[in-house]
Amino acid sequence: MDDAKVSREDLYRDAHRGLRALARPGALVSNSADVDLHVVIDELEKLVEWAIEAADADFGPSIVVAAPFDDARWVDGGYIETVDLDRGTLEERPVKVDAHSWRDSAMQRAARAYSRAGQYDMQPGSDGLWILHIEPVEGHDESWTGSLTGFVVLYDRDRDGRYEALAHVWTASQCQRRGVGTRLVREALANHKIAYVEGPLSEGGRRLLQVAAPDLPVSP
């Protein structure tokens, strides 16, 4: 009994130790080898939450697309899906999200990862037109799942019926340097009359636009 009891304790301490490596930078987390087991167990819930946040930032959150897979939307290793949160009904959208289901949705989790990466006070919300880059994982005839590895958000600031402002671009960190952001921006430019980019820009955003949209003006 004692050996089994020690073995279970070691499992919890090992789990704590592994998850601690994925904690938020600067987070105060106990050393699992130096504290009582109850402290280790109490911290596991927060560590799991941080690990999920890290996975979202690194590889993108899991997302469900409630529509058959469309080969025409497959572009250079990713699936491009557009979700208009300003127009249409929830039932018409391939990604079932609105103001009521926004919290902890894949899009909100990706927006949260974007705001943390840029150290922004605010994050994109449940409005605007979102162009998503999804890497498929598995599916059925009428729906499938994948990883949301990037997005572009456009806004109709002057309410004239067209999306003229490119406001946000995000790519999961482990998917960068694979052209995801460039594909998304070019998809936006090909299908919408983008007039300007909303600043300020991060250094990464500036480099991306130099490649994908060098002629677009930047609004402060």
pLDDT at 1: 45
For the entire predicted model, the pTM comes to: 0.89
pLDDT at 76: 84
Q: How far is it, in rounded angstroms, from Cα 38 to Cα 134?
A: 40
For the domain covering 60-219, report its CATH number.
3.40.630
pLDDT at 54: 97
Confidence tier at 220 by pLDDT (50, 70, 90): confident
Lowest-confidence range among 29-33, 75-79, 140-144, 201-205?
29-33
CB 154 within 8 A of CB 193: no
Helix (H) or strand (E) holding 20: helix 2-20
Q: Within 10 A of 145 (CB to CB), how many other CB atoms are there? A: 15
Q: How far is it, in rounded angstroms, from Cα 128 to Cα 165?
A: 10
Helix (H/G/I), strand (E/B), else coil: 148: strand
pLDDT at 6: 60
Q: How far is it, in rounded angstroms, from Cα 98 to Cα 127?
A: 8
Query: What is each CA distance from 27 to 3, 30, 179, 184, in whole angstroms?
Result: 33, 10, 32, 33
Q: Which of 142, 145, 133 is nearest to 73 (CA)?
A: 133
44-90 pLDDT per residue, tens: 999 999 999 999 999 999 999 999 999 999 988 899 999 999 988 88
Across the chain, mean pLDDT equals: 92
172-197 pLDDT per residue, tens: 999 998 999 999 999 999 999 999 99
- Tell me the DSSP string of 49-111: HHHHHHHHHHH--EEEE-S---GGGEETTEEEEEEESSSS-GGG-SS---TTT-TT-HHHHHH
pLDDT at 110: 98
The segment(s) of the chain belonging to CATH 3.40.630 are 60-219
pLDDT at 29: 85
pLDDT at 109: 97
pLDDT at 89: 84
Helix axes 37-59, 106-118, angle to 10 degrees: 90
